[in-house]
Amino acid sequence: MCEDAVLSEACLISLATATAVVGARRSCEEEEEEEEASSLASELDGSSAAVFPALASAALVGIYVLFARFQGVLVSAMAFASLWSLHFTARPYVGGLAWPVAGVVVCCWLLTGHWVLLDVLGACTCVACVALVRVPNLRVACLCLGSLLAYDVFWILGSASVFGGDNVMVTVASRAANNPVGPPLQLPIKLVVPACSGFSLLGLGDVAIPGLALALARRFDRYLAAEARSPVAADARRWRRPDTVSGRRSSITAKRPRRLSYLAVATTGYAGGLALACATAARFGPQPALVYLVPACVLPIIVAALLRGNDHLKLLWRGLEEGGDEDHPEEKSRGVN
């Protein structure tokens, strides 16, 4: 692998990781906006997580068929979807200018097809997906991500035997569509970075799907932070020790060692898993990246919860709403009534 290829893969990993983290943080922001989030956000349960791969497969086959027969329709649909995603992502930063900014970027992409604009639209699509599609607990996350891992394996390694030797996933990701108003377009269903020969690319699913686990980790971090700020938890952190000068007992606030947040743990695992997936793809050809990314995101969260105790794993597995007041980890571990 040439030096330019290594740099390209490093840039791609950085872009994908940053996109997933932004989506995870935006997921928490949308929860705070009750009025709008309630109408846009969708929370997966066990049954919907199980059928999610079937819906994703139908969408993939639909894009594959449209590529062959109705490329103008496909480009138009992608343009409108990208317009909304860019508006959604830009709204907290530019306010009322979000629609004009989104319109200008999409028009420039249609006219030029530049890879930077492609990445902007793809990253915004990932942010919107991670922010608005949520897994309520680790149990549903494992079911959803595990079933999508199987989906990824089939469409990368097994679809050629079903579709007459044509790898559907690779074909959809790499093919350019005819553009009625400009040059042929790479569709915003991937992130790309120039390499020594062509481009390094990563499908949006390899960012958005692990991003669901990162968003769950971020919401749990916020829950723990809120618990730590509560009056009961603050009282529990106070303890008494002998004063070193007078020998009397004095009340002080205990300082707990700083630990990596669950989001930081999951993000580190994601970046490492993506690096392994890229290295394997460079050596052996196209790989189902979720084989590496799903364990790399989920296992660090589980290990961190086990190491920290305090019923973190049980609360993550059941979900914050199901856990109830009796499962507050900070309080239960200290015996607070």
Helix 71-94 / helix 3-32 crossing angle, nearest 10 deg = 60
**How do residues 253-295 score in pLDDT, each as one tens digit?**
334 556 789 999 999 999 999 999 999 998 888 889 999 999 9
Note whether residue 110 is domain-resident.
Answer: yes
What mean pLDDT do residues 298-304 have?
A: 96
Note whether residue 161 is domain-resident.
Answer: yes
What's the predicted TM-score (pTM) here? Answer: 0.85
What mean pLDDT do residues 96-112 have?
A: 95
Note whether residue 76 is domain-resident.
Answer: yes
Average pLDDT across the chain, whole number: 83
Backbone angles phi, psi at 116, to 5 degrees: -65, -45
Note whether residue 246 is domain-resident.
Answer: no
- Closest by CA to 57, choosing from 193, 200, 183, 158, is 158
Residues near 278 by beta carbon (within 8 Å), at least 6 away in sequence? 9, 12, 13, 200
**How do residues 23-42 score in pLDDT, each as one tens digit?**
999 988 766 664 444 457 78
- State residue 256's pLDDT score: 52
Tell me the residue range of the domain where 283 lies: 3-239+256-323
- State residue 249's pLDDT score: 42
What mean pLDDT do residues 135-163 have?
A: 91
C-alpha 203 chain-centroid distance: 12
Secondary structure E strands in the chain: 42-43, 133-134, 176-177, 185-186, 190-194, 199-203, 238-242, 249-253
Residue 244: DSSP 8-state? T
Note whether residue 250 is domain-resident.
Answer: no
Instruction: Report the distance separating Cα 175 and Cα 153, nearest Å.
Output: 20
Backbone angles phi, psi at 188, to 5 degrees: -75, 60
Sign of CA dihedral 61, 67, 73, 76: positive
Instruction: Report the distance separating Cα 325 and Cα 316, nearest Å.
Output: 14
Banded model confidence at residue 226, pLDDT cuts 50, 70, 90: confident
Helices (H) and strands (E) in the chain, counts: 16, 8
Query: Domain total for the chain?
Result: 1
What mean pLDDT do residues 75-104 have?
A: 94
Note whether residue 248 is domain-resident.
Answer: no
Note whether residue 156 is domain-resident.
Answer: yes
